[in-house]
Structure formats: structure tokens, C-alpha cells
Amino acid sequence: MTVQPDEVVVTVTVNGETVRHLVDPRTTAADFLRDGLELTGTHLGCEHGVCGACTVLLDGRSVRSCILYAPQLDGCEVTTVEGLSPVPGELHPIQEAFRECHGLQCGFCTPGFLLTVHEFLSETKGADEDEIREAISGNLCRCTGYQGIVAAVQRADETWQR
Amino acid sequence: MAAVTGTSVRPTAPPGLIGTRVNRVEDARLLAGRGRYVADVTLPRIKHAAFVRAWPSHARILSIDTTRARTLPGVVAALTAADLPPATLVDGNWIPGLAKTPQPVLARDKVRFVGEAVAIVVATSRYVAEDAAELVEVDYEQLPAVDHAGRRPSGHVPILDELPDDLIYDRGESFGNPDLMFRDAPHVFVKDLALARSMAAPLECRGTVASYDPAAGSLDVWCSTQSPHLLRRRLSAASGVAEHRVRVMMHDVGGGFGQKIAAHPEELAIALASCALGIPVKWIEDRRENLMAAPHARGQRVHLKLATDDDGRFLALRARIVGDAGAYSFNAASALIEPYITARVMTGVYRIDHYGYHVAAGLTNKSPVAPYRGVGFIAAQTARELLIDEAARSLGIDRFELRRRNMIRPDDFPYRSCTGLVFDSGSYLEALTTVERMSAYDDFRCEQEQARASGRFIGLGISPYVEPTGWGTEAMNQIGWHSFPSNDSARVSMDISGKVTISIGTPSQGQGIETTLAQISAEVLGIPLDDVVVSFTDSSSAPTSLAGTRASRAAVVSGGAVGLASQDLRERILKVAGALMETDASILTVADGVITDPSEDAASMTVAEVVQKAFQLTEIRSAEPEPNFTATRFYDPGATYGNACVGAVVEVDPQTGGVRVLRIVGAEDCGTVINQVVVEGQFIGGMAQGLGGALLERLAYDENGEILTTTFMDYLLPTSTEVPHFEVEHLESPSPYTWRGIKGVGESGTIGAPAAIAAAIADALAHTGSTVDRLPMLPEDVRAMVEQGEDRG
């Protein structure tokens, strides 16, 4: 791999698979995931870090991939919505709960919510409605009015064996 | 969480898939990150576009120099209006008296709002395209901005030369004899309401991929749109490519709410760029562009007068409405979409025989106004309901009681309003009573007094309403609104395996249309839900829908067309089954994919066996005049009106002006329910958007026409912590004029919630003597109410 002066090497483990890519250093992490790795489940809703649609997990913590640069992923582990379910064709209990509780409509904000909720439920059990609303307050949804999403988090809290 | 309970004012249909709560069929792919949005589309040789957008709000273009931009490595082209065939967009509204304002796809001689597209740069990546866009040099001669409809700045230069006073419409109409009624009325109440600009703000911004093939002479376009056939017409007109060689394709759309009805100038510009360059060109809008240059909404001032007798009976109503059009009367529906609809639905759920209105709409140097969920209804609903509350307070009549005295009653149906709307069926009084019960109104009054005594200010607002849905030809005739034709068909096709594919021109932007239409078809055909799919819309194969998905109409219009086509198909299948089973087809039943002859020891065949034989056996085929299993049906429904009532409880902090919504309750009636999951999603999601419009969302401009709200840190959407848990009950008054009694519900919650929240604020601060006169009510506006009260002492 010949590195041009305006490129940097990024080595990153995404959804369990380690990849090595040359990138223009100003490439955002979101564009790298979407265009470089063709993981288009990560969506861009504002590109200034407010809406949360681009949320992914970076070493287990939720981050906004639209305001990170791809080189900042170097040496890290990233989980995107495509990596939530270990088995293709099956849904993770959080995803299943969103389906059962009508926690999505257009689906554009959904991947960001799923990863935010994954981080929250990884650390918490038995949260009440106010705590759940606080936990997801950094993600915008324009369709659902959040009611189905809150219900889905409550459901996943019960069904996800963790 | 509170359970959602259901009641019914009419007997419901026998149990079947229609009316069953089923999880949505589209969810699995969306949850797995396998939704396909326009930003995910890529093609060989594709290049990326960025627009050069105007920074002045009103200016003559003296020159555009693209030289530096074109020399940047990676740039393919920098195109201005001079490089593309001339193309304009004009609204299709044919209301008499409305001036036309042709909008160039790229600004040619003048720019008229901040963000108007002036040039396109096409490059190897969006990054390079944006770099190059900054190198395009545009020389402007700035002109004074018209920042307010009807207001002329000093040194005023008309926005369009042809309209010296910037007015595009200025007319009124009278019903009954309001002059006489006002002259003799014992009481007259007056209300002013200013509705700020806000916008749909779907989480997915706009976007287009266009690919012109010079060899084939064909233009393929992927777009985040609500109206693929409408877009195809506009693309054909702009590009000169014949309509049958233009193909508009769409997969998932990340929300629309009206913003994606129009053919947008940018979409046409991208197609023209692809035609000019002979390569695929992709444009994915960013949020700054969307807030600045995608169509805005609302922007109205309403002046309302109500005459009553001593018992509070409504004698007459008068409205004067001024709409802020923005820089063009936009092609989505014209600038009248807000003020004219407001005027025509102003009398609401009440018996008012004497009514007059005057509507004016003026151009301003702002982004054009287009439909956004609840368009026009919200201004009417909020102004009227606030005024009724003020009248109730003044007359000393309870607010529920005053409404009850004036409301259209169950035995009035079909009820013809003075403006000509024929309300087909509904549950207006029952919805009001339901909300009275749900909000525990009597207990609330005690609670409110106790709270006030301890320095807390809580208030309750109520908002009963009726709304046109479905929007077929008859509804448009009644409303006097003619901006799109109701011409919609659906195709239902059964393949040789007995499975069904539905094709429509009214695609989903998240409403769950894939699920609800599959439910309808599966029930009518008597096959499992899993045996039906709704395909993504491709204009080259989908039956025409000239309007697309808008105006709470897809469930009614496409639902009806799918239902009728499925009935045709069912008859054809049973006819073949009758021949195969050697029995009279009319006695056969079909359920769960099995056709049964009840007379012959319940002899049966599966639907799949029947169609396989019909596809393969010439003796079966030859008996059929049209031996296929595809049915296409047109459907133009009668006028139908949904109704609901929303109640809100808020707490106002008089120190900060902050408003906290404590409860929202709603009783909705959209006729026959296809799927409660989807109806609740629409109703609740709509109420959340209404909450945003009531308390948070305002697109702000300064006096020079500079937009101040270009990020989600300035333009605030509701988050999970501003939105309460919504409590919902269902009423069901099927329409006598639509297929299976279906009514629309897409806009409902958005219409009702703002008035309920505004009225709750007014109720909480009623002791100050101040009134709510604007939306949204931002903290400074609430503080102003408190201060005005203190000034009055």
C-alpha cells in the first residue's frame, strides 16, 4: 500500500472485522463507514452533531460519526447497526423490541437510536420512563413522537438477556 | 404506561386483516440498517454535486465567474443557468385571481432569497465539490429586502417585475349575511394570531441521483420524493426528454411531511447537469441547505371576529388572513396553500351559517412556502379555538359547554358547512366528551386552583376539529382547491406461485403503506399477509398517481384502488376455481389461501394451485377472455372528513417563561381503521410535531432577509424530554362515501395539538388578563404575557 502525502492509513475493527484503508484525513468517520466500507446503515441527518442519526459505538461508547474524522478511528473497535445482530437475518432483541412496539416509521433515525439504546441498556437495568427519555434525548426522531421508542426500550430491557 | 383503549360509535367490520393490529412488514430491513435511501444509491462513473447558493436575500446578479472553481483538481464542471437549457417551475394551481411566479431552476438575473441556487459544481467527491463551490465568484447588486408580506422597505424594488406590489392574491368571499349578523350581534369577540414560519424538517434531507444516457436518450432519476409521477412530468418538461424515457425510482424515504411533494429546482438542476455532462450526478442535501433553501411552511397572520348571542351561540364569523409566500408561489401547490385553506376550513366543527373572509398573499425575500402536514388547518384551528376560549371567559360559560352548544350534532350528518364542505360522518361531540373524561376536567379545575394558591400555574386546553382527508375530486370541489388532480390507480398482480405484488404511485415516507395496503389486499383475496408485497415505486411500471402521497390521502385513495383491484382479482380466481372444481363460483369461499366449496364436503384447492393451472393449462386459459391475474383499478373517492379532539395540560414557569407539557390526551376518528399500530403512530407522531410548532420551532429572519436558523441548535425539534406520554382513544365513524369507510389520519395530530397547547398556556395565565397571540410560544413570548399582566396590575 503506497501512502500518498495527503493520505493516512486507518486500521480499524468494524463489526468484528479488521480493515486497513487509505483515507483523505478530512474524511469524516461517517463518510468513511458509508462510502469507504459501504456500511450505509449509518445515516446523516444534520452533519453537525445534533440529531444523532449517525451514532455508532466506538470502543463501546456511543459517538456521533459525523463530527469525528476517519483517522480518529485508528486502532479502535467500531460497531454500526449492521453489527448489532450476530446472525444475519435475525434481529437483536433491541431491534425486535423496536418492531414490536412500533418504535420506528421512516427508519432514518433508527440506526442511531438502536446504538444509543444498546449503550444505555448495556449499563442499566430497570430504568423508569424518565430515565429512558433522558437517555435517548440526544437523538431526534421526527415521525414517532418517541412513544414507541420509549416502549421499545422498556421491552428490550426485559427481553435482552445480558 | 397507560393502556390504549378503543371504543366504537358504529359496529365494526367482521374480524379480518383490516382492523387488525399487525407489526409493520417494512421494519425488518429498516432495523437491520438495510433501508435503501437515495444517499445509498451509487452508479458507475457517478460524480457529486454541490450548489453555489445566494448569500444576499434580494439582489441582481451582475456576473458569475466559475474559472477558479473549474481549475480545482477533481472538478468536472461548474454550471450556471447560462450553461443549461432554460427551465422554470410554476405552480399548477388554477384558483382565479392567483398570479403566477415562474421560478428558474438556477437563478438567472436575480436572486430572491438566501440560499437560492445560483450554480452547480460537479466533482469527484462532495468534499471537492464544496471546495470548488466556494471558488465561484458571484457579483451582486443588493436590493432592499421585503421581509414581511405587504410591507415595502424604503427604496422598494418588486421581487418580480410583473408584480409591483409583491401581491399574488387579494380576494374574499362571503357566505350567508355576516354584515347583518355582526351589526345586530349582542357580543363580538376579536382575535389576532401570528403563526411563524416553521418547516417539515424530515430527518432525511432532500436528494437526487440523475443518470442521463445519451445513447439511449433516457433519463433515470432516484429521488427522495412523495410524488414520483409528478416529478417525472416536471423532469420531462425541463430536460426535453420525452416522459416515457424518464424514469423516477424511489426506495425508502426518510420522512416527507409535505416538503417532498414538489418538484424541487435542485432536482431538476441535477437532472439537467447529468444531461449536459452525460454522466450520473448525485446531490445529497445537507441540513444547512434544507433549513435555508428547502421550502418552508406556515407564516400567516390571522385576524378573526366572532359574533355571539347572550347564550354564546355563534352567529357569525369573519376572517382576514395574510400569508407570507416567500420568494415564489411554489410549484408544490402555490402560496395559497396556507392562507386559502385556512379561510375555507375556518368554521370547523361548529354550526356557523354566516361567514366572510379575505385572503391576501404576498411575496417576501424568503424561502418559498410549501405544504407541511396540517397545512392551513393549524392557523384556522388555533385562532378559532383560542377565540372561543376568550369568548367563553368573557361570557362566563364553561369552555366545554360553549363548544357543545355550537357543535354539529350526530343527526346533522351529512352536514353542509356554509363554505360548502359536506361532512359525511363523525363523532364531534363524542370526541369532545371523551377528552373531557380523559382529562378529568372537574378534578383538574380543583388542582389548578390549589396549584395557583401555591404559586404554580397549570392550564388545560381543548381542541376539537374536523379535517378533509382523502382529497379526491369531490373533496377538492367542496374546498374550492385545485392544485393537483385526483387521478390514482393501483395494480394488484398474482404470480404463478399464488403470491401478490402491489404497485402504486403513492409511496411511503414512513407511514407504513407497505403494511396497510398488504393488509387490504390479503383480506380481500383471502390469502396470508406474508403472501403480499408492495413494491418500491418506479414510475416506468407503477400505475399513475398524479398527486402522489400527500394530504392524508394514500390510505383512502390507494387503499380503495388496491381494494377494488383485489376484488377483481378475487372474482377471476374464483371463476377459474369454479371451473376446475366443477361448481358455481359464487358459492366458493376463500380464506388463508384455500378455496373451499361448502356444498361438496368442503372440497378445496389452494389459491396457488388454481392460478398454476390457469397459467399452464390451455383449456383453462382459453375459456378466459383475459387470462391473466393482474388487475388495475382507478379510484377517486367521495369527500370524507376525519375528526378528533386533543386536550393538553401544561405548566408555565412565570419566572423563565418555560412551558412544560404535562399531559396530552386525544380521541381520534379516522373511520374504518386498517391497522391501529399505524393509526396511533400517525396520530401521536403528528401531535409531537404539533408540540414543536407550538413551543419550539421558528424559522427566524432578520430585517435584511438573512436567515438566522440554519442548524438544529437554532431550529429546535422536540426531543424525548419535551414530549409527554400521549394518551389516545379511538372512535370509529366509517365514511359512507369511501371504499370500506376509510378516512385519512396522516395530518390529524399535527392539526389539533398546537391549539390545545396554546389554549392551555392561555388558561394557565388567564389571571394575568394576557392572551396568546402567536405560535410558537417561546419563553420570551410567555414572559411577555406575564409582564403585560403585571403592567395591568
For residue B429, report the phi and psi dihedrals to the nearest 5 degrees.
Answer: -65, -40
Closest Cβ opposite residue A145 in set B32, B509, B723: B723
Largest CA distance in chain B: 93
| Cβ–Cβ < 8 Å for B700, A35 | no
pLDDT score for B111 = 98
Chain A CB contacts of B225 under 8 Å are none
Pairing state between β B281-284 and B47-53:
parallel
Burial class of residue B421 in the structure, from the number of CB atoms within 10 Å of its CB (0-12 exposed, 13-18 middle, 19+ buried): buried
B754 prior amide bond cis, ω within 30: no
Closest Cβ opposite residue B684 in set A39, A137, A145: A145
Domains of chain B: 38-143+208-253+260-284 (3.90.1170.50), 297-478+638-792 (3.30.365.10), 487-634 (3.30.365.10)
Mutate one of A39, A95, A143, A149 to test the B interface: name it (highest B CB count within 10 A). Answer: A143
Mean pLDDT (whole number) for A46-74: 98
Give chain A's mean pLDDT: 96
Q: How far apart are CA B489 and CA B433, in angstroms?
A: 39
Which residue from B268, B336, B258, B342 is spatially nearest to B296, judged by alpha carbons? B258
B127/A154 touch (CB, cutoff 8 Å), yes or no: no
Which chain B residue's Cα is nearest to A144?
B685
Q: A93-159: what fold?
A: DNA polymerase; domain 1 (1.10.150)
How big is chain B, counted in residues?
Answer: 793
Chain B CB contacts of A50 under 8 Å are 711-713
Instruction: Using CA atoms of B706, B712, B715, B721 in order, give the dihedral in degrees to the nearest 10.
Output: -170
Instruction: Using CA atoms of B540, B544, B549, B554 in order, give the dihedral in degrees to the nearest 10.
Output: -130
Which chain A residue's Cα is nearest to B41?
A40
B711/A50 touch (CB, cutoff 8 Å), yes or no: yes
pLDDT digits (tens, 9 = 90+) for A57-70: 999 999 999 999 99
Query: Who contacts B438 (Cβ-Cβ below 8 Å, separation ≥6)?
Result: B647, B665, B667, B727, B729
pLDDT score for B622 = 82
pLDDT score for A2 = 66
3-state secondary structure labels for all residues of B208-255: EEEEEECCCCEEEEEECCCCHHHHHHHHHHHHCCCHHHEEEECCCCCC
Task: Tell me the CA end-to-end span of chain B in Å, nearest whole number.
Answer: 43
A108/B203 touch (CB, cutoff 8 Å), yes or no: yes
pLDDT score for B6 = 35
Q: How far apart are CA B646 and CA B60, in angstroms?
A: 48
**Positive or negative, the Cα torsion across B532, B536, B539, B541?**
negative
Other CB atoms within 10 A of residue B38 CB:
26
Distance from CA of A140 to the nearest CA of B (A): 6
pLDDT along chain B (793 residues), means of 10: 36 70 96 97 98 98 98 98 96 94 97 98 98 98 93 94 96 98 98 98 98 98 97 97 97 97 97 98 98 98 98 98 98 95 98 98 98 97 98 98 98 97 98 98 95 96 97 95 93 97 96 97 97 96 94 95 98 95 95 92 93 90 85 98 98 97 98 97 98 98 96 98 98 98 97 98 96 98 95 83
Element (DSSP H or E) covering residue B762: helix B748-764
Q: A8-83: what fold?
A: Ubiquitin-like (UB roll) (3.10.20)
Q: What's the Rg (C-alpha) of chain A? A: 16
| Cβ–Cβ < 8 Å for B197, B698 | yes
B720/A98 touch (CB, cutoff 8 Å), yes or no: no
Closest Cβ opposite residue A105 in set B1, B512, B717: B512
B215: phi > 0 → left, psi -120 to 50 → alpha, else beta; which?
A: alpha
Q: Which residues of B582-621 are buried (b: 16+ CB within 10 A; e: fewer)?
A: ebebeebebeebbbbbeeeeeebbbbbbbbbbbbeeeebe
List the domain boundaries for chain A.
Answer: 8-83, 93-159
| Cβ–Cβ < 8 Å for B720, A146 | yes
Strands (DSSP E) contained in B54-166 are 59-65, 75-80, 88-89, 103-104, 110-111, 117-123, 137-142
Closest Cβ opposite residue B685 in set A105, A133, A136: A105
Closest Cβ opposite residue B287 in set A48, A82, A148: A48
Q: How far apart are CA B415 and CA B535, in angstroms?
A: 39
pLDDT digits (tens, 9 = 90+) for A107-157: 999 999 999 999 999 999 999 999 999 999 999 999 999 999 999 999 999
Chain A CB contacts of B720 under 8 Å are 132-134, 136-137, 139, 141, 146, 149-150
Q: In what order do the strands lie in the sheet with B630-634?
A: B532-534, B500-504, B489-494, B630-634
Query: Who contacts B455 (Cβ-Cβ below 8 Å, separation ≥6)?
Result: none
Checking if the pLDDT of A1 tops 80, the result is: no
| Cβ–Cβ < 8 Å for A113, A149 | yes
Burial class of residue B161 in the structure, from the number of CB atoms within 10 Å of its CB (0-12 exposed, 13-18 middle, 19+ buried): exposed
CA distances from B33 to A38, A123, B27, B28 (A): 11, 24, 10, 9
| Cβ–Cβ < 8 Å for B169, B336 | yes
DSSP conformation class of B164: T
Q: Is the ipTM of this complex over 0.95?
A: yes
For residue B370, report the phi and psi dihedrals to the nearest 5 degrees.
Answer: -135, 175
Which chain B residue's Cα is nearest to A137?
B720
Q: Which residues of B676-695 are buried (b: 16+ CB within 10 A; e: fewer)?
A: bbbbbbbbbbbbbbbbbbbb
Query: Who contacts A116 (Cβ-Cβ below 8 Å, separation ≥6)?
Result: A52, A55, A62, A135, A136, A138, A139
How many beta-carbon pairs below 8 A join chains A and B? Answer: 176
Instruction: Write out the three cell numbers for B569.
Output: 382479482
SS3 B763: helix
List B538's β-bridge partners, or say none.
B249
Q: In this structure, which amino acid lies at residue B259?
A: Q
Task: Tell me the CA end-to-end span of chain A in Å, nearest whole number.
Answer: 41
Checking if the pLDDT of A100 tops 80, the result is: yes
SS3 B283: strand
Which chain A residue's Cα is nearest to B284?
A44
SS3 B470: coil
A105/B37 touch (CB, cutoff 8 Å), yes or no: no
Which chain A residue's Cα is nearest to B27?
A99
| Cβ–Cβ < 8 Å for B680, B26 | no
CA B337 to chain centre: 11
Closest Cβ opposite residue B712 in set A50, A144, A145: A50
